[in-house]
Amino acid sequence: IQVKLLRVLEKKSFRRVGGVKDIQVSVRIVSATNRDLTEEVSAGRFREDLYYRLKVVPLRLPPLRERPEDIPLLAMHFVRLFNAQFRKSFGGFTPAASEALLRYPWPGNIREMRNVLERTILLGGGERIDVGDLYLADGSGATGGELLEGVRAALDGRFGEEGFPLEPTLQEIERRLILQASEKTRWNQTLTARLLGMNRDKLRYRMKQHGLLREAVRSV
């Protein structure tokens, strides 16, 4: 693909698969990457000639961890966005939550922040987001979350004094997680799949296994 792109940049033309004639084009290419292309060129994974063809007006966008002044602004943007989407009314963050957002390195940058706050607002309730409501990968926010707490409550009494299960509970745990996540999202399968970290097809397969597709139909 790099060779084909280089040809378009150099000759302003391309040829369709199976075609016999070149097609002239007049385009401007705006490209972006999260890799260090100089390292990719040195490693032989990116063509040097293509690199210099693309590098006309380079712009470096620093990672979120290098722009702490942007974190509160972006966080509040996502709070407003997901408040409207999920009909919540969070007014902002507690000082502890704000500090946690600033300390967290955000390896996934803005996309990760969006996902963290989407899950936080979807599962949370109250006036302000506290540090215990956040779902940060370093464990500084919520760890078990409401879903696991709900599962623990649902399975209370299923274990004997020695801590051994009275009967197999793995399927019940999975069913309970899916059920509780579905109730949180009002049986929106796209949001439920995102909340549980799986794709929608896999969620539907699991719901069918546990007889939850019928529950979804009845809830509508």
* Residue environment code for 25-42, b if the CB has 16+ CB neighbours within 10 A, otherwise e: eeeeeeeeeeeebeeebe
Q: Write down the pLDDT at residue 215.
A: 65
Most confident stretch, 3-12, 25-34, 65-74, 196-205: 65-74
Q: What's the rounded Cα separation, in Å, for the pair 136 and 107?
A: 11
Q: Write down the pLDDT at residue 74.
A: 97
Residues 41-50 have pLDDT tens digits of 999 999 999 9
pLDDT at 39 over 90: yes
CATH number given to 146-219: 1.10.10
- For residues 94-121, average pLDDT: 92
Residue written as token pair 């004094």: 161
Q: Write down the pLDDT at residue 60.
A: 87
pLDDT at 124 over 80: no
Neighbouring-strand partners of residue 165: 159
Burial class (CB in 10 A: 0-12, 13-18, 19+), 166: exposed
Portions of the chain given CATH number 1.10.8.60: 64-143
Q: What's the rounded Cα separation, in Å, for the pair 200 and 189?
A: 7
Q: Write down the pLDDT at residue 86.
A: 83
**What is the helix (H) or strand (E) element at residue 12, kind and residue range?**
none
Which residue, 114, 115, 126, is CA-closest to 193?
115
Q: Are 103 and 68 in contact (CB under 8 A)?
A: no
Which residue, 140, 95, 90, 151, is CA-closest to 118?
90
Q: Write down the pLDDT at residue 119.
A: 84
Q: What's the rounded Cα separation, in Å, for the pair 169 and 174?
A: 9
pLDDT at 163 over 80: no
Confidence of residue 144 (pLDDT cuts 50, 70, 90): very low
Q: Comparing 150 with 193, which gets the higher pLDDT? A: 193
Confidence of residue 105 (pLDDT cuts 50, 70, 90): very high
Specify the CATH number for 64-143; select among 1.10.8.60, 3.40.50.1580, 1.10.3720.10, 3.30.70.360. 1.10.8.60
Portions of the chain given CATH number 1.10.10: 146-219
- For residues 103-112, average pLDDT: 92
Q: What's the rounded Cα separation, in Å, for the pair 181 and 173?
A: 12
Q: Write down the pLDDT at residue 143.
A: 46
